[in-house]
């Protein structure tokens, strides 16, 4: 396994704050990614906070760096999990508690309708971004295409975010990383809510997962949010 390599990002990806304010935002994110104060930044994709964390990586303490690395490697624990029809995704959700998804089950199959829809939506996103557009599937730890990609529904102040591990995959040339996605659990009160919010988030965040599986180069990061936002419409 190669060593952990902090990544520097170009200034155009930085939230438009002072250096001290950027560090405060990162500290808030590291302390609690669901902190409601993060919503005040009007960031749709929490992946921006992941990128910002690595931009100021050298300014963080060793303890703060370890907080990120632990969170990126130790995925959330949820009450239930289910494979998508294609087997490409495993969705994890709660039926109760702060991260619970909407409970409606009109299909009476024991699975919330929100999750039934999410299973189909993520499969469609894979089919379009991987099978139709020809992007590489996100890699697993062995460097081969991931067998099933993990999605976690959480109570978030933004639509979703994609964590990448920060540990380079030794079997692949260049810098490439495994990842997982967290998605807002119900989109209640969001400008784009319910299934519409889920659709754009699935398209956007899975594109970030694809990006982290390519040779990660600082000069390309300017295009990350642009490409993922375009993917919502595509």
Confidence of residue 105 (pLDDT cuts 50, 70, 90): very high
pLDDT of residue 226: 87
- The pLDDT tens digits for 124-169 are 999 999 999 999 999 999 999 999 999 999 999 999 999 998 888 8
- The pLDDT tens digits for 160-174 are 999 998 888 888 888
pLDDT of residue 10: 39
pLDDT of residue 219: 66
Lowest-confidence pick of 39-48, 75-84, 106-115, 163-172: 39-48
Per the model's pLDDT, the better-predicted residue between 52 and 202 turns out to be 202
Nearest CA-CA partner of 49 in 153, 138, 136, 156 = 156
């Amino acid at each position: 396994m190669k060593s952990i390599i902090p990544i520097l990002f170009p200034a155009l990806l930085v939230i438009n704050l002072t250096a001290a304010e950027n560090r405060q935002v990162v500290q808030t994110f590291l302390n609690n990614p669901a902190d409601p104060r993060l919503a005040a930044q009007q960031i749709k994709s929490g992946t921006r906070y992941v990128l910002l964390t690595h931009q100021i990586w050298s300014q963080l303490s060793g303890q703060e760096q370890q907080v990120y690395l632990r969170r990126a490697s130790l995925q959330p624990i949820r009450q239930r999990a289910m494979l998508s029809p294609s087997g490409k995704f495993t969705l994890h959700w709660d039926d109760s508690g702060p991260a619970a998804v909407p409970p409606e089950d009109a299909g009476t199959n024991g699975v919330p309708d929100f999750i039934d829809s999410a299973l189909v939506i993520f499969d469609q996103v894979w089919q379009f971004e991987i099978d139709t557009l020809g992007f590489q599937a996100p890699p697993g730890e062995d460097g081969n295409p991931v067998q099933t990609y993990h999605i976690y529904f959480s109570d978030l102040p933004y639509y979703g975010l994609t964590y990448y591990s920060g540990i380079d995959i030794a079997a692949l040339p260049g810098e490439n990383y495994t990842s997982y996605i967290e998605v807002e659990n119900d989109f209640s009160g969001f400008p784009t809510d319910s299934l519409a919010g889920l659709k754009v988030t699935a398209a956007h965040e899975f594109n970030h997962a694809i990006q982290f599986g390519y040779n990660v180069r600082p000069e390309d990061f300017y295009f990350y949010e642009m490409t993922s936002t375009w993917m919502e419409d595509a």
